[in-house]
């Protein structure tokens, strides 16, 4: 029997643009997915997540690691699927770790993340690699997709801050469909999208400084700007806007979509712990799943 764990994540800044090589800021969360594998004569997944691609993703990892055995794969998850919180990457990472445990492979975190990326490609088409990186390493990072090796830089947190994540559980499209829709809109309006890309680059550059220097007011402003761009490229929804507006009306420093959007989740930067609690309660009242975290 082998066991492994993968963590949830929030993309704080840079979702979608990261697919095209712009750096993203990601934060690992403590919510996790646990995978347990037991050798069997056939492959079977036991999970409360119905997802047709789950088995395909797991097979892709087996092929990459050159494992021919079959398993009963038990998935225990604290992360909702299609939530923008990296559930598929967390499953992939947990499965690779379970394989490493079963066969005593002693895989390094770099190897774990890179095998997990094989199934991310099945789930998401052309993923950036941010999700599997955060699901493996956790922490706060700057992630940049690059030919010949992604650039992963740990991010220093100048002043701890409180985030609240509201998950709408209302996503009809998959991440790969949303990425493809953004690509097609970008191809229709390349000049305008160039402005969005340049603005996003600046937002990330300033957000890194705001996080490092603990300038939380500025960080919140930048989240609001980033959300505006995500709405402009067509990845917001009524539910996303409801959460963002509710949080802003309650004096949050900033609020935006996190992850692929079109439903999924929003991340909110609260003023302080009390403000975070109040916002979390309000979003729960709206009927949504909430995760609160202190980033330090
Ligand atoms: C999905 O969590 C985030 C996207 O930027 C896709 C990716 O980075 O692979 C939309």
Is residue 105 scored above 80 in pLDDT?
yes
The pair of three-digit structure tokens given for residue 25, joined into one six-digit string: 């800021």
The pLDDT score that the predictor gives to residue 80 is 82
Q: Are 263 and 171 in contact (CB under 8 A)?
A: yes
Q: Are 137 and 27 in contact (CB under 8 A)?
A: no
Q: How far is the CA of 12 from the centre of ligand 1 (A)?
A: 11
Query: 117-148 in b/e burial notation, b at 16+ Cβ within 10 A?
Result: bbbbebbbeebbbbbbbbbbbbebbbbbbeee
Report which ligand 1 atom has the smallest distance to the Cα of 129. Answer: 9
pLDDT in tens, 60-97: 999 999 999 999 999 999 988 777 888 999 999 999 99
Q: How far is the CA of 142 from the centre of ligand 1 (A)?
A: 14
Catalytic residue selected from 51, 69, 101, 131: 131
Query: CATH fold of 2-154, please?
Result: Ribosomal Protein S5; domain 2 (3.30.230)
What is the distance between the alpha carbons of residues 61 and 95, in angstroms, rounded to a whole number?
8
| Residue among 11, 83, 145 to mutate when testing ligand 1 (max atoms within 8 A of CB) | 11
Q: Which of 94, 91, 97, 86 is nearest to 28 (CA)?
A: 86
What is the distance between the alpha carbons of residues 208 and 156, in angstroms, rounded to a whole number?
9
Other C-beta atoms closer than 10 Å to the C-beta of 10 total 24
Average pLDDT, stretch 10-36? 95
Q: What percent of the chain has pLDDT over 70?
A: 99
pLDDT in tens, 138-197: 889 999 999 988 999 999 999 999 999 999 977 779 889 999 999 999 999 999 999 999
pLDDT in tens, 229-242: 999 999 999 999 99
CB under 6 Å to ligand 1: residues?
Answer: 11, 15-16, 18-19, 84, 86, 124, 127-128, 130-131, 175, 179, 259-260
Report which ligand 1 atom has the smallest distance to the Cα of 124. Answer: 9
What is the distance between the alpha carbons of residues 154 and 142, in angstroms, rounded to a whole number?
6
Is residue 50 scored above 70 in pLDDT?
no
Q: What percent of the chain has pLDDT over 90?
A: 86
The pLDDT score that the predictor gives to residue 81 is 79
What is the distance between the alpha carbons of residues 213 and 216, in angstroms, rounded to a whole number?
9
The pLDDT score that the predictor gives to residue 181 is 97
Is residue 131 scored above 90 in pLDDT?
yes
What is the distance between the alpha carbons of residues 278 and 146, in angstroms, rounded to a whole number?
40
Cα→Cα distances 251→23, 135, 195, Å: 28, 31, 29
Q: How far is the CA of 144 from the centre of ligand 1 (A)?
A: 12
Q: Do domains 2-154 and 161-295 have the same CATH topology?
A: no
Mean pLDDT is lowest, of 144-158, 206-220, 267-281, for 144-158
Active-site annotation holds for 131: yes
Q: Where are the domains of the chain?
A: 2-154, 161-295
Q: Which of 11, 32, 40, 175 is nearest to 93 (CA)?
A: 32
Q: Are 13 and 60 in contact (CB under 8 A)?
A: no
Does this model's pTM top 0.75?
yes
Q: Which helix or strand (DSSP H or E) is residue 12 part of?
A: strand 2-13
- 275 or 83, higher pLDDT: 275
- For the chain, the average pLDDT equals 94
Query: CATH fold of 161-295, please?
Result: Alpha-Beta Plaits (3.30.70)
Q: How far is the CA of 132 from the centre of ligand 1 (A)?
A: 10
Q: Which of 194, 203, 268 is nearest to 233 (CA)?
A: 194
């Amino acid at each position: 029997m082998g066991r492994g764990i993968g963590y949830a994540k929030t993309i704080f800044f840079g979702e979608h643009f990261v697919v095209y090589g712009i750096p993203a800021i990601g934060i690992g969360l403590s919510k996790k997915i646990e995978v347990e594998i037991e050798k069997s004569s056939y492959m079977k997944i036991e999970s409360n997540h119905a997802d047709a691609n789950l088995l395909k993703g797991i097979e892709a990892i087996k092929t990459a690691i050159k494992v021919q055995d079959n398993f009963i794969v038990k998935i225990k998850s604290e992360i909702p699927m299609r939530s923008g919180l990296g559930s598929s990457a967390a499953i992939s990472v947990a499965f690779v770790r379970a394989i490493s445990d079963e066969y005593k492979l002693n895989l390094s975190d770099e190897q774990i993340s890179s095998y997990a990326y094989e199934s991310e490609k099945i789930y998401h088409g052309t993923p950036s690699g941010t999700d599997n990186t955060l699901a493996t390493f956790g922490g706060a990072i700057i992630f940049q997709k690059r030919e010949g090796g992604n650039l992963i830089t740990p991010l220093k947190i100048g002043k701890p801050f409180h985030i609240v994540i509201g998950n709408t559980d209302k996503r009809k499209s998959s991440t790969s469909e949303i990425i493809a829709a953004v690509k097609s809109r970008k191809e229709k309006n390349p000049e305008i999208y160039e402005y969005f890309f340049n603005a996003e680059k600046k937002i990330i550059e300033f957000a890194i400084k705001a996080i490092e220097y603990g300038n939380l007011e500025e960080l919140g402003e930048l989240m609001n700007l980033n959300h505006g761009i995500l709405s402009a490229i067509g990845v917001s929804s009524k539910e996303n806007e409801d959460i963002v507006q509710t949080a802003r009306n309650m004096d949050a420093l900033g609020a935006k979509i996190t992850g692929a959007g079109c439903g999924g989740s929003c991340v909110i930067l609260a003023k302080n712990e009390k403000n975070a609690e109040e916002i979390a309660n309000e979003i729960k009242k709206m009927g949504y799943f909430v995760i609160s975290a202190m980033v330090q």
